[in-house]
Amino acid sequence: MKLIDIGICIDNLDPKHMGRIRCVRYSSYTGDVEKAVDYSAWDDKDLFTANPFLPSNINFIPEIGQTVKILEYNTDKEYENVEYISGPFTTMHDYNSQTHSAQVENTTYGIAAKHSPDISKPDKDELKENDGAFAKHTDYGIYGKYGSDVIFTENGLIMRGGKLISKKGASQRDKLRLTTQPILADKSATIHLKKFDKKLTPVTEEVDVNKIESKPLTSFIEYSIQNFNTGDTTTIDFYVHIIKNLDSQSKKTYGENLYKTDNTNLENVDIIDGKTKLINNYNDNSPTFSLSNISFNKISGTIREFIQLAHKELSLKSLNDKYTNQLYIPTNLESDLHPFYFRPTKECISRTLSDEETTLRQRVFDGVTPYSGIKQNGLIFSASAVENKPKTTKKVQKYLKNESGVEQSFGAIKSDKLYLLSTEEPAPKYPDKKPIKFEKFKSYDVTHENYMEDIHPNTYALVRGEILLDVLNTITKLFASHVHLIETPLIQSDKNFIDLLDKIQNLENDMLNKSIRIN
């Protein structure tokens, strides 16, 4: 004789409300049993009645047609002293909809049943989708039939109603997925209670911060050296590229800070055709300036002096009179080239040379030091400051101050609408309000219609106190600034008066929280 067997619930409406069910064994011949005993359903001789094995206050009553586990504590009497436990179940997210064949799929009774897919990641305490639908393995959860649960965490409690999407409102695709996969809803009603082992206090303070100023570059100055032979003179070409404002597509393609002073990669930034303008006398690709017959030993110094001159003289016009023509130079560059970045051209850096010439090229680059800390290439920030030094500014900083050794507890209720209702305090007798008739709520549950027809119209929005205080302070400031008799009209241009009118105009939406209501 089996101590535990599988049965199927055939009736769950116990007239005594003791949590009993009527069930038949999976392999039982019900007809033969019925012929052997004269009985009526639910009476003392009913051979198919089973009492709940779990305490009646936490018993889970199965649906008709669902599987139960039958237990007997006197195996000599097969149809007496029978108790049941709901299940087995193959998922915790939807107890109502599970059929007998789905319930037994993981038992020897379910050999022919199609097994449902795994919903958890291998070796991880998280779901493939909608993680958080179930309690973590380190917590303890009690689950309702669908979409509700109570989760006991360490020092905490979570109660959730409507955590899963509504079956009625689900798409056909989601309805199919719901048979094996919990789908969390965007909205749910929850209560969170939690205690933490330390106290965190929000703190706001003003602190000094060092900030690097960022500006758009005005120009690039590139230099190229025609040869690096120590016995020959050479020509140094300077190319001045004026930077245009990047359009939105260029910013998206090349980056928002491509031609800005805070770009740490300016030495490698490309000169983009159409986004920059090369300034020269012929409107072509020729150099802006060329200096000829420069001996090798004077190459570095000549480039260094040119960069210093560009910084000191500020504009192309002051470097060469031919750039007085507006055709060649924008008006703003008559006054200032800054901020600009100087560097050798990419061709000059990557040009194939002999080993000796390569060494000489690097010696030249190392000698281009127009200012301390700048070698070969660098940013010249402004006419008054070569280096873009950090500036100390005031910043409002918010952080959480940790007070160890002091515990802190929280409670939060979250839903679309919240109601705080007292059965002893009737609503004030306003024309459109009346006391809530709680006797109308006969069921232990409150219906959707009860909320919207009986509760919502007869409750009042909560006030956001900070908003009200702000309005009162503005009124006080207005009276304090009113220097003539209060009987005379207020000055319409008074800043406090304008501020008050603006706040009054938005007062209803700003001050009233219409989703949290009291009676």
Q: What is the CATH number of the domain that holds 13?
A: 2.40.50
Residues 354 and 232 in one domain: yes
Q: Which of 389, 416, 443 is at the close of a domain? A: 416
Average pLDDT of every residue of the chain: 85
pLDDT given for residue 490 in this prediction: 64
Lowest mean pLDDT of 57-66, 70-79, 240-249, name the range.
Answer: 70-79
Asked if the structure places residue 106 within a domain, the reply is no
**424, exposed or middle or buried, with CB in 10 Å at 0-12, 13-18, 19+?**
exposed
Q: Which of 416, 440, 463 is at the close of a domain? A: 416
- pLDDT-derived band at 327 (thresholds 50, 70, 90) equals very low
Q: What is the mean pLDDT of residues 310-318?
A: 79
CB of 88 within 8 A of CB of 103?
A: yes
Lowest mean pLDDT of 49-58, 73-82, 154-163, 288-297, name the range.
Answer: 73-82
Q: Is the confidence at residue 326, as pLDDT, over 50? A: no
Asked if the structure places residue 243 within a domain, the reply is yes
Instruction: Choose the most confident range, by mean pLDDT, from 194-198, 253-257, 428-432.
Output: 194-198
Q: What is the mean pLDDT of residues 196-212?
A: 91
- pLDDT-derived band at 78 (thresholds 50, 70, 90) equals low
- pLDDT-derived band at 377 (thresholds 50, 70, 90) equals very high
Residues 329 and 407 in one domain: no
pLDDT given for residue 369 in this prediction: 96
Residues 175 and 239 in one domain: no
Strand partners, 8: 24, 67
Cβ atoms < 10 Å from Cβ of 86: 21
Q: Is the confidence at residue 475, as pLDDT, over 80? A: yes
Asked if the structure places residue 393 within a domain, the reply is no
- pLDDT-derived band at 506 (thresholds 50, 70, 90) equals confident
Cα–Cα distances (Å) from 313 to 220, 299, 369, in that order, read 16, 21, 18
- pLDDT-derived band at 90 (thresholds 50, 70, 90) equals confident
- pLDDT-derived band at 129 (thresholds 50, 70, 90) equals confident
Lowest mean pLDDT of 290-299, 329-338, 420-429, 503-512, name the range.
Answer: 329-338
The residue ranking higher by pLDDT, 113 or 216, is: 216
pLDDT given for residue 342 in this prediction: 96
- In angstroms, the CA 10 to CA 25 distance is 10
How big is the chain, counted in residues? 519
pLDDT given for residue 494 in this prediction: 75
Residues 136 and 189 in one domain: yes
Asked if the structure places residue 96 within a domain, the reply is no
Q: What is the mean pLDDT of residues 126-137?
A: 86
DSSP code, position 404 = E
Residues 139 and 256 in one domain: no
- pLDDT-derived band at 328 (thresholds 50, 70, 90) equals very low
The residue ranking higher by pLDDT, 488 or 466, is: 466
- pLDDT-derived band at 411 (thresholds 50, 70, 90) equals very high
The dihedral built from the CA positions of residue 97, 103, 106 and 108, taken in this order, carries a sign that is negative
Cα–Cα distances (Å) from 395 to 67, 212, 262, in that order, read 65, 14, 20
pLDDT given for residue 14 in this prediction: 95
Token pair recorded at residue 385 = 């400051």
- pLDDT-derived band at 500 (thresholds 50, 70, 90) equals confident
CB of 106 within 8 A of CB of 67?
A: no
Q: What percent of the chain has pLDDT over 70?
A: 89
Asked if the structure places residue 394 within a domain, the reply is no
- pLDDT-derived band at 416 (thresholds 50, 70, 90) equals very high
Asked if the structure places residue 113 within a domain, the reply is no
Asked if the structure places residue 98 within a domain, the reply is no
Whether this prediction's pTM lies above 0.75 is answered by: no
**156-161 and 340-344 as β-strands: parallel, antiparallel, unpaired?**
unpaired
Residues 77 and 131 in one domain: no
Q: Is the confidence at residue 8, as pLDDT, over 60? A: yes
pLDDT given for residue 481 in this prediction: 73
Residues 268 and 132 in one domain: no
- pLDDT-derived band at 504 (thresholds 50, 70, 90) equals confident
Q: What is the mean pLDDT of residues 134-154?
A: 92
Q: Which of 63, 87, 111 is at the close of a domain? A: 87
Cα–Cα distances (Å) from 90 to 86, 134, 167, 197, 481, in that order, read 12, 14, 19, 37, 73
Fill in the amino acid letter for 510.
Answer: D
Residues 208 and 226 in one domain: no
Residues 276 and 320 in one domain: yes
- pLDDT-derived band at 28 (thresholds 50, 70, 90) equals low
pLDDT given for residue 501 in this prediction: 83
pLDDT given for residue 35 in this prediction: 56
Residues 323 and 450 in one domain: no
CB of 207 within 8 A of CB of 328?
A: no
pLDDT given for residue 337 in this prediction: 85
**512-518 and 418-420 as β-strands: parallel, antiparallel, unpaired?**
parallel
Q: Report the domain count for the chain.
A: 4
Cα–Cα distances (Å) from 321 to 283, 315, 329, 478, 492, in that order, read 16, 11, 12, 61, 56
Structural domain containing residue 156: 120-212+402-416
- In angstroms, the CA 264 to CA 273 distance is 21
CB of 5 within 8 A of CB of 36?
A: no
Residues 359 and 409 in one domain: no
Residues 411 and 508 in one domain: no
pLDDT given for residue 329 in this prediction: 46
pLDDT given for residue 64 in this prediction: 93
Asked if the structure places residue 100 within a domain, the reply is no
* pLDDT tens sequence across 228-281: 998 889 999 999 998 887 777 777 777 778 899 989 899 999 988 878 888 877
pLDDT given for residue 272 in this prediction: 85
**189-211 and 82-86 as β-strands: parallel, antiparallel, unpaired?**
unpaired
